[in-house]
Structure 1
Amino acid sequence: MSLQPFAQSEALTLGVELELQLVNTVDYDLAHYASDMLRLMARHKLPGAVVPEMTEGMIEISTDVCHSWSEAHEQLGQIRDALVKSADKLNIAVVGGGTHPFQQWHQQRIYDKPRFHQLSQLYGYLSKQFTIFGQHVHVGCPDADTALYTLHGLSRYIPHFIALAASSPFVQGQDTAFDSARLNSVFAFPLSGRAPCVLTWGEFEQYFDKMTRTGVVQSMKDFYWDIRPKPEFGTIEVRVFDTPLTVQHAAALAGYVQSLAAWLQTQRPITPCEDDYLVYSYNRFQACRFGLDAVYVDPASGTHLPLREHLLASFEQLAPFAAQCGASGALERLHAEAQAGRNHARWLRECQQREDLLAEVIRQASGRFRNE
């Protein structure tokens, strides 16, 4: 199977996808209600789409093509309000967060869709362990080579994305000591990690052809990379974010990606090379483990510095590009949270310390998603 041509898209447009938890309102464990939610949501005229995910305790929403983080926020808000109304009819709740704190993977059911059953047969128990919840951000690129340049430029900011979005400290009822434990489940898949460092679409097509000849890959969906091209949309897709607890935070993260892409595409400030990836896995681990308190190793200089310091500096550097994209409000919001060292993993831990009951943490998180 050959690679799809890279479609035309408007540069710096946005699309946001969120994988969300469906929980009952008795003990706040995951509930197998995806089919019922899809049936009720089909009655609403909404932007974007609502689709099933791997297991029946989860659902995915997505926006239409947006031009700004505020437009994405508006669309996500409309979909959220419809989700809440539908969930209330079923006596369940919808929750953000990268993991459900105490669900048992073996109790999950694969959603009845051919691709999900195929993945379950291939990956075994990993498929049910993939009951984790992430945010994906698409950003439009004017051509395929620019898409690859943007991909490699954004790869330097993978730890920043992870730390800002981290919301998965609990797994199977335990505090993992990670801010983002969700990504540990992603790393178990053989085609996860980083994209190859190729700089032209012709080279990427050659790489894809080699992979398909091995029989390991049939389409771009088979790559679980942190960032991957999405040729049918004319975008690249950033995939490392935990699902935030609120749609406001999700939209702000999209604004940060858009501002970085604007800087990269207009200024061409870096020269991507394989050496950029020497510290990639280490930086990613640091962000997953320590969140905003991680250490960041600059791939160009080898300098070690607090990730939060590098993150705050990036907000200052991106200010003019954020203004051009209408994303200044997004960066201001993220700046305040980063400066205070407050991501959603910290909120979840503080709630658990206060309540000493993970079901109550989920109940309060569902209230945050409702925008109460």
Structure 2
Amino acid sequence: MSLPSMGVEEELLLVSASGRPLPRSKAVAADAVGVDVELELTRAQVEINSPVCESAEELRGHLVKMRSAVARAAAEEGCLLLAIGAPPSGTAVQQVTRKPRYEEMAMRYGLLAREQAVCGCHVHIDVQDKEAAARVSNHLRPWMPALLALTANSAIYLDTDTGFSSWRSIMWSRWPCSGPPPYFESADHYDAFVGMLLGSGSIMDERMVYWDIRPSTHLPTIEVRVSDVPLTIDETVLLATLVRALVMTATEDGGLGPKPDTEVLRAAYWLAARDGLPGIGMNVLTAEPMPATQVMDLLQQHVRPALQELGEVDRVKETIERLISEGNGAVKQRRAFREGADVIALTEVKP
């Protein structure tokens, strides 16, 4: 079994001291010297992109440097940088970034585009080609709700407890091409599906294929986009390690992968978005409801041989146990909100 390389993209939010999103992404990106920072759909977001990494420790080191550098740049522009899935305060409508593509999206999709200051984390794992990516996608689909529950970090939105652990995923589901991808028989099947979406006008271009798993449009990777941006670097590294192990497990299998019932998968997604890590999840392959913590056990069992090859069995187990015990971002946000504590301070990235 080979060890594929990996990379991570983290979207982060720029806010005032009160948590109101601030449209200063261009200035912050310019100030963050030596860091790969991209502009996002709204002017209150930035995206940091890690280099290609060969190990969890290498990825962790890059994320520490990148988050710190962008937090310093944000401070220089009078902003706070938050690792959070949705704006904790302010208003829903944001200013769209002045780039032709984003302005075209705002024109075509209206309020949907202007209410999208939501922040996710995207993990890229090296794969052989698009044919392999289509097969791997099928294998990964049943495990996406587990990853969503694990990384949920958007319980508070606009000064309101949403009742969901990942409100970002609920908001994101409004796009015409989002959520779990279809089951693909081949790369040609994938291309035909995307061609239909383009031909219908529901998406502008292939970059708007916003499924939670997709072949990258610009890299030889498969991209997993299901998660909120995690609160901590350890959680991002955990996510990337699990996705890497899932891809390795799928590649080792080599087949087309299991085909769970679509409605079962939808139900598991919804439960993960609402309940997150402390609640009820679902074994997508058997349609059996169970505690989300038990789903985490199943996930670790599924990828254990890959984790052994990566030397990450113990670290993954310890990190998941800590999140179950102490809470992930959504749990900590909701606890702070109910106790009258500062959600902004909780989610702020320190320089």
Pick the TM interval, shorter chain.
Answer: over 0.9
2:19 to 28, 36, 39: 28
Q: What is the aligned-residue RMSD (CA, Å)?
A: 2.1
Correspondence list, 1:58-69, <5 A: 58-69=45-56
Matches of 2:347 and 2:282 in 1, distance apart?
33
Matches of 1:86 and 1:211 in 2, distance apart?
39
Instruction: Report the CA distance between 1:175 and its aligned residue.
Output: 0.5
- Match in the other structure for 1:370: 350
3-state DSSP of counterpart to 2:185: coil
Instruction: State TM-score, norm by structure 1.
Output: 0.87
- Match in the other structure for 2:225: 239
Instruction: State TM-score, norm by structure 2.
Output: 0.92
1:361 to 320, 343, 347: 343
Matches of 1:151 and 1:331 in 2, distance apart?
22
- Match in the other structure for 1:120: 106
Matches of 2:80 and 2:86 in 1, distance apart?
15
Native 8 Å contact 2:333 2:346 kept in 1? no
Instruction: Report the CA distance between 1:156 and its aligned residue.
Output: 0.6
Does 2:6 correspond to 1:14?
A: yes
Native 8 Å contact 2:140 2:246 kept in 1? yes
Matches of 1:287 and 1:173 in 2, distance apart?
22
Matches of 1:330 and 1:97 in 2, distance apart?
24
2:174 to 176, 179, 188: 188
Matches of 2:262 and 2:315 in 1, distance apart?
28
Letter in 2 for 1:29: R
Native 8 Å contact 2:152 2:227 kept in 1? yes
Native 8 Å contact 2:177 2:211 kept in 1? yes
2:334 to 339, 349, 369: 349
Native 8 Å contact 2:19 2:87 kept in 1? no
Instruction: Report the CA distance between 1:301 and its aligned residue.
Output: 2.8
Matches of 2:346 and 2:177 in 1, distance apart?
36
Q: 1:83 to 1:329 in 2, by over 3 A?
A: farther
Matches of 1:11 and 1:195 in 2, distance apart?
25
Correspondence list, 1:24-103, <5 A: 24-25=16-17, 27-41=18-32, 44-46=33-35, 49-103=36-90
Q: 1:329 to 1:269 in 2, by over 3 A?
A: farther
Q: Name structure 1 gaps, 5 residues minimum.
A: 1-9
Q: 1:301 to 1:353 in 2, by over 3 A?
A: closer
Matches of 1:71 and 1:311 in 2, distance apart?
25
Q: Residues 333-372 of structure 1: CA distance to partner in whole angstroms, max 9, x if unpaired?
A: 4321354272211111112223x15xx2202321xx228x
Matches of 1:300 and 1:270 in 2, distance apart?
15
Correspondence list, 1:120-269, <5 A: 120-268=106-254
Instruction: Report the CA distance between 1:11 and its aligned residue.
Output: 6.0
- Match in the other structure for 1:4: none
Letter in 2 for 1:285: W
Q: Residues 23-70 of structure 1: CA distance to partner in whole angstroms, max 9, x if unpaired?
A: 223x232222111101111xx224xx2011111111111111112222
Native 8 Å contact 1:55 1:110 kept in 2? yes
3-state DSSP of counterpart to 2:281: strand
- Match in the other structure for 1:6: none
Letter in 2 for 1:148: A
Letter in 1 for 2:140: L
Does 2:268 correspond to 1:277?
A: no
List structure 1 segments (4+ residues) > 4 angstroms apart after TM superposition.
Answer: none
Native 8 Å contact 1:253 1:330 kept in 2? no
Instruction: Report the CA distance between 1:148 and its aligned residue.
Output: 1.3
Native 8 Å contact 2:148 2:273 kept in 1? yes
3-state DSSP of counterpart to 2:287: coil
Letter in 1 for 2:344: I
Instruction: State the identity as a percent.
Output: 25
Q: Residues 77-106 of structure 1: CA distance to partner in whole angstroms, max 9, x if unpaired?
A: 111121122223223221101111122023
Instruction: Report the CA distance between 1:270 and its aligned residue.
Output: 7.3
Letter in 2 for 1:91: G
Native 8 Å contact 1:256 1:330 kept in 2? no
Q: 1:209 to 1:74 in 2, by over 3 A?
A: same
- Match in the other structure for 2:310: 325
Matches of 1:295 and 1:269 in 2, distance apart?
30
Q: Residues 123-144 of structure 1: CA distance to partner in whole angstroms, max 9, x if unpaired?
A: 1111121111111111111232
3-state DSSP of counterpart to 1:340: helix
Q: Residues 196-227 of structure 1: CA distance to partner in whole angstroms, max 9, x if unpaired?
A: 21221122233333433334445321222121
Q: Name structure 2 gaps, 5 residues minimum.
A: none
Native 8 Å contact 1:252 1:334 kept in 2? yes
Q: Residues 205-255 of structure 1: CA distance to partner in whole angstroms, max 9, x if unpaired?
A: 333334333344453212221211115312111111111122221122101
Q: 1:262 to 1:120 in 2, by over 3 A?
A: same
